[in-house]
Chains A and B, each alone.
Chain A
Amino acid sequence: MNNKTVMTLVFLAVSGCAAIQIPPDRLEGNEASMRGAEELGASGVPAAKLHLQLAREQTISAKKLAADGDDRAVMMLARAQSDAELSLGLAREVSVHADAQRAADELKAVRARGTP
């Protein structure tokens, strides 16, 4: 459980609200997917960037719902996680596709050198 989650729960306890506890591993998984997408350059891929933004917004929304005791928080986090994973997949797709293009170009070059 990260510090943010702990602080949220402490706040909720102190404030006297019946907060919903988001499973820490799911929150951590969500955060990891978003970090992964960023590191793979999602901000440079329009579709990936869009879904990463959706993931961030929905994560914030999930935390707020959890703080308010709204049990929709878990589903909101699930939405955020699905967008984060899609963002990561899209960013990875661009990277691998570039590798595939390079491989095709290299094969072309090798063939061009020819086998007399």
Chain B
Amino acid sequence: MNHTAKSLTLGFSLAGLLSSCATVAPNELVDARNAYSASSNGLASQLTPTDLHAAKTVLDQANTEFERNGDSLAVRDTAYVALRKIELADVKARTEADHRAIAEAVKQGVVVRDNQVKYSQAALAETREALRGERSTNAAQGAELQRTASQLASESEARQMTQTRLDAAMKDLHTIASVRDEARGVVITLSGSVIFASGGYTLLETAKAKLDQVAEALKDQSEEKRMTVEGHTDSMGSEASNQRLGQNRANAVRDYLVSRGVDGTKLIAVGMGATRPILDNSNAENRANNRRVEIVIRPAPLTER
């Protein structure tokens, strides 16, 4: 083969080689095409279609440039930008998905809290209703208690007034009788010579005024008190006669007190005779002191209350 033929052959070979290279897309373009293919079937196509479309536009520019002029810096630069835009569309799609998830979570949270509030409100309404019922009951009970309290107050007031009268009456008694607190109770002692004529058991008229005061004091004694009128004598005379005189005197005082309003069911008369002297009977004065009537006020036995 001559020199000219060899040169022509070499030239055509080179042209063929160059033309085949021009059809091989650069890596940037291949990567961009593949990325778009994946993204167009993914999240970006649903959530960020505008961004994906913008990326496609740039990719088309790269493809067109490549088809016209083959591989070049312009094709590579344009494909590079297209690839970044496709990647950005994917990133924005994922971000949008997160935004929607946040919105849904907030919405669900509102629903859950709403339900919780509704439940709480229902429970609160039930509690209020129950309280209303309790309040009605309490109001009724309160009214009853109020009535009872008023009643008690009235009774207390009455007792107070009675006690005041009693205290006043007992105080007055001190002027006409001896009043002592003993183990057996309160003992009102009236001298026998003040109440009765000597040896007898008829009340002296002058004694009646004193006994009226005693009656006043005894009338206000509480229900829980019991009273005993004891007739005491000195030791002169027989035991039997002293016993009889003591009993008669006790009866006389008791009957008079009952006639002046003292509760007869709570007042008994007992003849003591000379069995309980307060002084020895060795002289007249002592014997005079022994001749007495004692009215004992004691608490009622538990069985009688």
Contacts and interface: CB of A to CB of B under 8 A. Distances in A.
A9 B113 CA distance: 62
B116 A113 contact: yes
Given A79-B81, A116-B119, A72 B92 contact: no
B112 A111 contact: yes
Given A72-B77, A86-B88, A106-B109, A115 B102 contact: no
A100 B88 contact: no
B119 A115 contact: yes
A82 B81 contact: yes
B73 A75 contact: yes
B77 A79 contact: yes
Given A82-B84, A83-B84, A86-B91, A110 B77 contact: no
B106 interface: yes
Nearest to A74: B77
Contacts of A72: 73, 77
Given A75-B74, A99-B98, A115-B115, A85 B105 contact: no
Task: Name B's interface SS.
Answer: helix
Interface string A61-83: 00000000000100110110011
A7 interface: no
Contact of B99 (A79, A96, A114): A96
B95 A89 contact: yes
Contacts of A115: 112, 115-116, 119
A103 B104 CA distance: 9
B216 to A, nearest CB: 73
A82 B77 CA distance: 11
B102 A103 contact: yes
A93 interface: yes
Interface in B81-119: 81, 84-85, 87-88, 91-92, 94-95, 98-99, 101-102, 105-106, 108-109, 112-113, 115-116, 119
B243 interface: no
Report, nearest first, the 8 A-B pairs whose CB atoms are least far apart.
A82-B84, A103-B105, A100-B98, A75-B77, A89-B91, A107-B105, A103-B102, A115-B115
7 contacts: A75-B73, A75-B74, A75-B78, A82-B88, A90-B91, A114-B116, A115-B116
